[in-house]
Amino acid sequence: MAELPNIENLYSTLKSLRVVRHCFSNFLDSLSEGSKCDKEDGNETANQKSLNNLRMHVRELEQNIHNLTSSSINPPGGPNVMSNIDVLSLDPSPDKLNLYHQLLDCYTWIDKVSSYSGMVHSICSGSYLKRSSMPAIRKRHVPIIYDANVVPQTVDIHIQNIKSRFPDMTLNVVRPLGSNAVLQVTLGRVLKAVVFFRGLLIEGVVVRAYNEPHTDEDGKVDLYRPSQYKVFQKVTDNANAAMLHFFTPGSVDITVRSFFTWLNSFSNLFTEVCKKCNYHVRHNYPPTWREFRTLQAFHEECRP
């Protein structure tokens, strides 16, 4: 059991402390009245007297503190292992105790966020938001053919195949931008389209009406001007969606053939009824959508 502190020593120490504080106040007062010191006669000035007095009482205080600590009071032993949050939990004030629980909840929440973000990162790093299924192909160790880097002769061969496959379709190849082909397509007497390639990769499609020219005022093939008719603007949007849908890296034949098969199905754009509602016209539009697999016609609103 720890020994109780000597009350007498404690009392005398506190008394010495009070005296020191009093002497120190006197010393500061005498310093602030410096002009009075100059008039002081004798060997010692008032400042020196106060300072000597203070020194004496400080020594006395030190002696009392030494007696007190050596006899009874032991400093607390061992390192302080409590963290700041533990100290906060010991605070008896009810409003601060609430703060302690909120802080614990916050730490738990941050731990969960860190854990979940690590899981999401591992999931997302395994999927690629690209126009292709390249990761799956890489897993099967199938070499990827970079369809954009092919010679123009290869592109011409594929276009010839399309020509022979779809007799209703008239194809005219031009190369206004170097080696990359631009295909001017005329489908029956229904529509015209401009399909531009980068190598064998279809980069974009613009569909226009049969009476709209492929070329602009300067006689150059027009790659970007949309049709003035809403019907063909919708078909253009759907054709670009089909272009992305049919894109299969490493299978150039399938990509090009599938897309032109789908585009060829618009030969009955104004004659085919919608497979769902059996009407030709709905909201002033013919069936402008063709299913990718079955090529069945649907209105935009009737799409399955």
Both tokens of 15, joined, read 């008394």
Distance CA 127, CA 62 (A): 75
Q: How far apart are CB 287 and Zn ion at their closest, in Å?
A: 6
Q: How far apart are CB 194 and Zn ion at their closest, in Å?
A: 28
> Looking at beta carbons only, is 257 or 282 nearer to Zn ion?
282
Residues 155, 200 contacting (CB under 8 angstroms): yes
Tokens 């009476």 belong to which residue? 211
Stretch that binds Zn ion, among 81-89, 103-111, 217-225, 268-276 (CB under 5 A): 268-276
Q: Residue 279, by phi and psi: left (phi above 0), alpha (psi -120 to 50) or beta? A: beta
Q: How far apart are CB 231 and Zn ion at their closest, in Å?
A: 14
> Looking at beta carbons only, is 163 or 280 nearer to Zn ion?
280
Distance CA 45, CA 32 (A): 14
Distance CA 299, CA 304 (A): 10
Residue 281 binds Zn ion, judged by CB under 5 A: no
# residues contacting Zn ion (CB under 5 A): 6
Q: How far apart are CB 241 and Zn ion at their closest, in Å?
A: 18
The correct pick among 82, 277, 281, 295 for binding Zn ion (CB under 5 A) is: 277
The helix-helix angle for 7-32 and 46-71 (nearest 10°) equals 160
> Looking at beta carbons only, is 57 or 299 nearer to Zn ion?
299
Q: How far apart are CB 263 and Zn ion at their closest, in Å?
A: 21
> Looking at beta carbons only, is 163 or 303 nearer to Zn ion?
303
Residue 299 binds Zn ion, judged by CB under 5 A: yes
Residue 274 binds Zn ion, judged by CB under 5 A: yes
Q: What are phi and psi of 229, to 5 degrees?
A: -100, 135
Stretch that binds Zn ion, among 82-90, 108-116, 199-207, 282-290 (CB under 5 A): 282-290
> Looking at beta carbons only, is 99 or 295 nearer to Zn ion?
295
Bridge partners (DSSP) listed for residue 185:
171, 193
Residue 46 binds Zn ion, judged by CB under 5 A: no
List the end-to-end C-alpha distance of the chain, in Å, as a whole number. Answer: 87
By Cβ distance, which residue is nearest to Zn ion? 274
Q: How far apart are CB 292 and Zn ion at their closest, in Å?
A: 17
Binding mask 138-157 for Zn ion (x = CB under 5 A): --------------------
What HEC string does 221-269 produce? ECCCCCCCCHHHHHHHHHHHHHHHHHCCCCCHHHHHHHHHHHHHHHHHC
Both tokens of 247, joined, read 């894109």
Contacts (CB under 5 A) with Zn ion, residues 158-217:
none
Residue 58 binds Zn ion, judged by CB under 5 A: no
Kindly write down the DSSP assignment for every residue of 80-136, as one continuous string.
Answer: ----HHHHHHT---HHHHHHHHHHHHHHHHHHHHHHHHHHHHHHHTT---SSS-HHH
Residue 290 binds Zn ion, judged by CB under 5 A: no
Tokens 């030709």 belong to which residue? 280
> Looking at beta carbons only, is 158 or 299 nearer to Zn ion?
299
> Residues for the chain: how many in total?
304
Q: Which residues bind Zn ion (CB under 5 A)?
A: 274, 276-277, 282, 299, 302
